[in-house]
Amino acid sequence: MMTTMIVTRVSPARVGAVIGRNLGALRSGPSYWVVLVSGFFEPLFYLLSIGVGVGALVGELRVGGRSLPYATFVAPAMLAVAAMSGALAETTYNFFGKMKYQKTFDAILATPVRPFEIALGELSWAMIRGSLYTGMFVIVMVVLGLASPLWALAAFPATMLVGLAFGSIGMAISTLMRGWQDFDLMATGQFALFLFSGTFAPVGDYPAAMQVIIQVTPLYHAVELVRGLAIGDPSWGLLAHAAYLLAMVLGGLLFAARRLERVLCV
Amino acid sequence: MSEQPLIYARGLVKRFGEFTAVDGIDLEVAPGEAFGFLGPNGAGKSSTMRMISCVSLPTAGELRILGMDPSRDGTTIRGRLGVCPQLDNLDPDLSVRENLTTYARYFGIPRAVARRRAEELLDFVQLADRAGSKVEPLSGGMKRRLTIARAMVNDPDIVLLDEPTTGLDPQARHLLWERLFQLKRRGTTLVLTTHYMDEAEQLCDRLVVMDGGRIVAQGSPRSLIETYSTPEVVELRFGDERPADVLGKLDGVGERVDPLPDRLLVYAADGDAATAEVHRRGLTPSSVLVRRSTLEDVFLHLTGRTLVD
Amino acid sequence: MAPLTTQVTARSTLAVLERNLTLYRRLWRASVFSSFVLPVLFLVGIGLGVGSHVGAIAGVDYVSWIVPGVLASTAFQLAVGESTYFVLSDFRWVRAYHAMRATPVQPADMVCGWLLYVLFRAEIAVVVFLAVTALFGALRSPWALVTPLVCGLVTLAAAAPTMAFSASIDHDSYFALLFRFVLIPSTLFTGVFFPVEQLPVVVRPLAYLSPLWHGVELERAATLGTTPPWPVAAHLGYLLVFTGAGVAWAVHAFRKRLQD
């Protein structure tokens, strides 16, 4: 009931206006631009250092009965990480700043725009940013011979789903944050996910208890989905990973919109 | 020896690139004096204060603080000054007490002495009950009082206050003035800047009026008013007519008439007599206010502008 | 006159250190992650996770090989991390340095007081990490005892120029660039996780430029009981020169920012 009420009121034009505001902010200064674009380099550096550098020490890796060069194993994981961090940067740090300190949302809500439209607008903007990273990263993978062009193309929509999932969760988390100090905690979590979600070593390498924990956390599903496509090894199991991410999108988005309603419209 | 001025300046100049903030001023401040710089924003008050507090060196001219040269003995001089800056720069994550003890250590004051000084000063600025609380939640007035206490932690020879009450509400201002007045009674030399004439009148024994980097007048508040203004001022407002249009009809009323955008000021020895003359000429102001002359009038007379815009 | 000045400066430097420690006593919780958890995550995630697929390297297991690297990079990351936001904010928002400027404390005292504080923080993190790695059996030479000293040098070499950078900028978004183009590449490409000899010849000099590489090689020689690629004096000399230049730059930047 609540859901239908929230959704039916959505106006694409007003969502577009929220995206437009972010685009405007982008033009405000060169530093935001440079910072935004530079986010792409973080996963690339990891790919080159761990994937290629340490990969030279590892050689081939056996995954699901196939033998892969280590860099080919790491690259899709870094692609998933790029989608995650692009979406999270926008929907946590920036979103929180706009909500709490710049009072941007208070200003927007004084117009006909509703909280759910803000959430959709911010999420779309995060997707644009995330896709910029993942698009560039896919090209790098193909150029370095870490994925075939067709399978890389197939992985791209998957990264968008990953971005949507983390973007929605990011907004939901932002509405719960008390202050900047909570972001340290989030950074801890994000970094732990980054290291242990089957990114640098197959999850099967870890002790059984740890495997269970990892399989509950979101980045694992993102990595598995993107990797399954990027290395050209699709299976029905990928649908389960996709379903997990889809649930994150819906849950995160609805939660964020309701919290925004409560935090901002009082 | 006791007659030696604590602050002595001759032809003091401060330039920032092309812009001249302070344009050749002379001053002397004697021990025990409460000395004020009065002027609008941008008059050069803060730049002068920063030179006196030895954090900015003069571009030209001579400056002696406590008989020393800031360019050579800046560190020693700063050790004997107390500075209350225009913007509070307290440590927000430290407690009220820690702000004082930490600052005291910058002067090399032993820990035990610092703690004792902190307690005394917190009593003095009426913050003893907040000693353990953080700085963040304090009101603007409390923060300013804490900054003043901090400025006194090294038992300074001169306390410098840059716009001490700007941005405070009336109650907080009066409490602060009362504390500063107590300081003055103890014989502490105070140097302050302000753009409030009431503040200057309340606190300063002597003041200079600054405008455009220069000193345009100096003396005690009373003598400035006597020299540059009349004992009383009549403020006249006319409903629809513009003050400038009425001006011609007021020739010879009082000693002088100044038109402001919204009202006319008539300077006169006797305000009531001047008001009677206005009415006798057939003028019907919508409001009439007879008041004593203030530094604001002095400033308006000297510069043609009001102090607080 | 000269000895008096020196004495006063030492006293002022310690007063600045004292302020930073007083603040740390209130805020230490926020830094637990970067100081203690992050290095262990690196060690477990890369060392154990990836290491199980790496055979022996330079005659030792992969974990033993990266421990000295992670040790040095812990000091490096902490030094850079601590000298960014905090320094900028003490200029811009807290204005603590402006408050100090009105006292006998001088810019050099502010710089040295902060460096001593970062050094203290780094040494704690390094010693804790060292204790953890001893449990992994990754320390193979008594020379491991000198690693905290080398880490101290890496800390100063990294913190000083970072402070200068922080004192020269007006907006914290520049830190994102510092982290992405200096901190992260330094951690990833200076021999912490794989030997720099694997880097293409053209980019290898960049690794040699980073103080972290010199720290990593010295630490690795110490924990494994081997000889570093350059003479020890050359590595140490580079770190010392880097530190000296960094401190000079930082004092200059502080003085410039506080003047007028």
CB-based contact C191:C69 (threshold 8 Å): yes
Q: Nearest chain A Cα to C187, which residue?
A: A49
Q: Nearest chain A Cα to C53, which residue?
A: A58
Q: What phi, psi does B11 have (nearest 5°)? A: 60, 35
Query: For B303, which DSSP code?
Result: H
**For residues A57-78, average pLDDT:** 89
Contacts of B176 (CB under 8 A, 6+ apart): B141, B144, B145, B148, B164, B165, B168
CB-based contact C121:C82 (threshold 8 Å): yes
Are B174 and B266 members of one domain? no
Percent of chain C residues past pLDDT 90, beyond the cut: 75
Q: Is B301 among the domain residues?
A: no
Instruction: Give yes or no for residue A6 having a pLDDT over 70.
Output: no
β-strands B206-211, B214-219: how paired?
A: antiparallel
Give start and end residues of each alpha helix (H) in chain B: 45-52, 70-78, 96-106, 111-124, 140-151, 170-185, 197-203, 221-228, 243-247, 271-280, 295-303
Does residue C13 sit at the B interface (CB-CB below 8 Å)? no
What is the per-residue pLDDT across B60-113, written as a single tens digit (0 to 9) for each?
999 999 999 999 999 999 999 999 998 889 999 899 999 999 999 999 999 999
Q: What phi, psi does A182 have (nearest 5°)? A: -70, -20
β-strands B81-84, B60-65: how paired?
A: unpaired
- C260 pLDDT band, cuts 50/70/90, is low
- B165 vs C216, which has greater pLDDT? C216
pLDDT at residue number C1: 37
pLDDT at residue number A78: 94
Percent of chain A residues past pLDDT 90, beyond the cut: 49
Cβ contacts of C184 on chain A, cutoff 8 Å: 42, 45
Tell me what the pLDDT averaged over chain A comes to. Answer: 87
CA distance A45 to A61: 21
pLDDT at residue number C256: 94
Instruction: Among B166, B190, B225, identify where a domain stops.
Output: B225
Contacts of C26 (CB under 8 A, 6+ apart): B93, B94
What is the per-residue pLDDT across B185-199, written as a single tens digit (0 to 9) for each?
988 999 999 888 788
Cβ contacts of C49 on chain A, cutoff 8 Å: 195-196, 200-201, 205-206
- A64 pLDDT band, cuts 50/70/90, is confident
> A228 burial class (0-12, 13-18, 19+ CB within 10 angstroms)?
buried
Are B176 and B255 members of one domain? no
- C62 vs B246, which has greater pLDDT? C62
C-beta neighbour count of B269 within 10 angstroms: 11
CB-based contact A21:A113 (threshold 8 Å): no
Q: Which two tokens stand for residue C235?
A: 């590595």
Percent of chain C residues past pLDDT 70, beyond the cut: 97
What is the per-residue pLDDT across A167-188, written as a single tens digit (0 to 9) for each?
999 999 998 988 777 787 888 8
pLDDT at residue number A2: 47
Q: Judge B/A contact: 3 or more CB pairs < 8 A.
A: no
* Residue among C68, C105, C84 at smallest CA distance from C226: C68
Does residue C11 sit at the B interface (CB-CB below 8 Å)? yes
Q: Is B139 among the domain residues?
A: yes
CA distance B31 to B40: 27
User: What domain count does chain B have?
Assistant: 2
* Residue among B247, B234, B239 at smallest CA distance from B281: B247
pLDDT at residue number A31: 66
Contact B108 C15 (CB under 8 A): yes
Show the domain range for B242. 230-292
Does residue C227 sit at the B interface (CB-CB below 8 Å)? no
For A158, how many CA atoms within 13 A lie in the half-sphere containing its CB?
A: 30
Q: Kindly list the domain boundaries of chain A, sorted by start residue.
A: 35-264
CB-based contact B30:B6 (threshold 8 Å): yes
Instruction: Give yes or no for residue A142 having a pLDDT over 90.
Output: yes
What is the per-residue pLDDT across B252-301, written as a single tens digit (0 to 9) for each?
888 888 888 888 889 998 989 999 988 898 888 888 999 888 888 888 88
What is the per-residue pLDDT across B7-16, written as a single tens digit (0 to 9) for each?
999 999 999 9
C53 → closest Cβ in A34, A46, A58: A58
- C2 pLDDT band, cuts 50/70/90, is very low
User: What's the angle, vertex CA A195, arms to CA C48 and CA C31, rounded to 5?
Assistant: 105
Does residue C105 sit at the B interface (CB-CB below 8 Å)? yes
Cβ contacts of B76 on chain C, cutoff 8 Å: 104
CA distance B230 to B145: 36
CATH, residue B132: 3.40.50.300
Cβ contacts of A39 on chain C, cutoff 8 Å: 176, 180
Instruction: Among B225, B255, B280, identify where a domain stops.
Output: B225
- C79 pLDDT band, cuts 50/70/90, is very high
pLDDT at residue number A9: 66
Instruction: Give yes or no for residue A12 having a pLDDT over 90.
Output: no
pLDDT at residue number C6: 47
Query: A64 in the Ramachandran plot: left (φ > 0), alpha (ψ -120 to 50) or beta?
Result: left
Q: Is B69 among the domain residues?
A: yes
Helix, strand or coil for residue C85?
helix
Instruction: Among B195, B225, B255, identify where a domain stops.
Output: B225
pLDDT at residue number C171: 85
List the beta bridge partners of residue B206.
B35
Q: Is B23 among the domain residues?
A: yes
Highest mean pLDDT among A53-67, A130-144, B253-267: A130-144
What is the per-residue pLDDT across B122-149, written as a single tens digit (0 to 9) for each?
999 999 999 999 998 999 999 999 999 9
Probe site for chain A from C34, C62, C181, C194 (most A CB atoms < 10 A): C194
Cβ contacts of B87 on chain C, cutoff 8 Å: 95
- A8 pLDDT band, cuts 50/70/90, is low
Q: Which two tokens stand for residue A25?
A: 């902010």
CA distance B29 to B65: 10
Q: Judge C/A contact: 3 or more CB pairs < 8 A.
A: yes
Contact A34 C33 (CB under 8 A): no
- A210 vs A8, which has greater pLDDT? A210
Instruction: Give yes or no for residue C247 having a pLDDT over 50.
Output: yes
**For residues A243-261, average pLDDT:** 92
Instruction: Give yes or no for residue B309 having a pLDDT over 80.
Output: no
CA distance B36 to B193: 6
Contact C49 A61 (CB under 8 A): no
β-strands B206-211, B34-38: how paired?
A: parallel
Are B212 and B234 members of one domain? no
Probe site for chain C from A57, A90, A182, A190 (most C CB atoms < 10 A): A57
Instruction: Give yes or no for residue A29 having a pLDDT over 70.
Output: no
pLDDT at residue number B260: 83
**For residues A21-39, average pLDDT:** 72
Q: Is B307 among the domain residues?
A: no
Contact B87 C95 (CB under 8 A): yes
Helix, strand or coil for residue B156?
coil
List the beta bridge partners of residue B14.
B22
What is the per-residue pLDDT across A216-244, written as a single tens digit (0 to 9) for each?
999 999 999 999 999 998 899 999 999 99
- A28 pLDDT band, cuts 50/70/90, is low
Are B113 and B237 members of one domain? no
C75 to B118, B155, C35, C210: CA distances (angstroms): 37, 41, 9, 14
Show the domain range for C61. 2-258
Alpha-carbon torsion B17, B22, B28, B34, what sign? negative
- C143 pLDDT band, cuts 50/70/90, is very high
Instruction: Give the CA radius of gyration of chain B.
Output: 22
Q: What phi, psi does B80 have (nearest 5°)? A: -115, 10
Cβ contacts of C52 on chain A, cutoff 8 Å: 201, 205
DSSP secondary structure, chain A, as one string: -HHHHHHHT--HHHHHHHHHHHHHHHHT-HHHHHHHHHTTHHHHHHIIIIIIIIHHHH-EEEETTEEEEHHHHHHHHHHHHHHHHHHHHIIIIIHHIIIIIS-HHHHHHTTT--HHHHHHHHHHHHHHHHHHHHHHHHHHHHHTTSS-HHHHHHHHHHHHHHHHHHHHHHHHHHTT--STHHHHHHHHHHHHHHHHTTTSS-GGGS-HHHHHHHHHSHHHHHHHHHHHHHTT---THHHHHHHHHHHHHHHHHHHHHHHHHHHH--
Cβ contacts of C22 on chain B, cutoff 8 Å: 94, 98, 102
List the beta bridge partners of residue B8.
B28, B64
Instruction: Give yes or no for residue B1 having a pLDDT over 60.
Output: no
Are B152 and B59 members of one domain? yes
pLDDT at residue number C4: 40
Task: Count contacts between A and C (CB, < 8 Å).
Answer: 87
How close, in Å, is residue C97 to chain B by CA atoms? Answer: 9
- A79 vs C5, which has greater pLDDT? A79
What is the per-residue pLDDT across C20-58, written as a single tens digit (0 to 9) for each?
999 999 888 877 877 888 888 888 888 888 888 888 888
CB-based contact C58:C224 (threshold 8 Å): yes
Q: Nearest chain C Cα to A186, which residue?
A: C33
Contact A45 C46 (CB under 8 A): no
Instruction: Give yes or no for residue A38 having a pLDDT over 60.
Output: yes
CATH, residue B259: 3.30.70.980
**For residues C226-238, average pLDDT:** 96
User: What domain count does chain C have?
Assistant: 1
Contact A191 C41 (CB under 8 A): yes
pLDDT at residue number C173: 82
Contacts of B146 (CB under 8 A, 6+ apart): B90, B96, B99, B100, B125, B127, B135, B138
CA distance A16 to A12: 6
Does residue B89 sit at the C interface (CB-CB below 8 Å)? yes
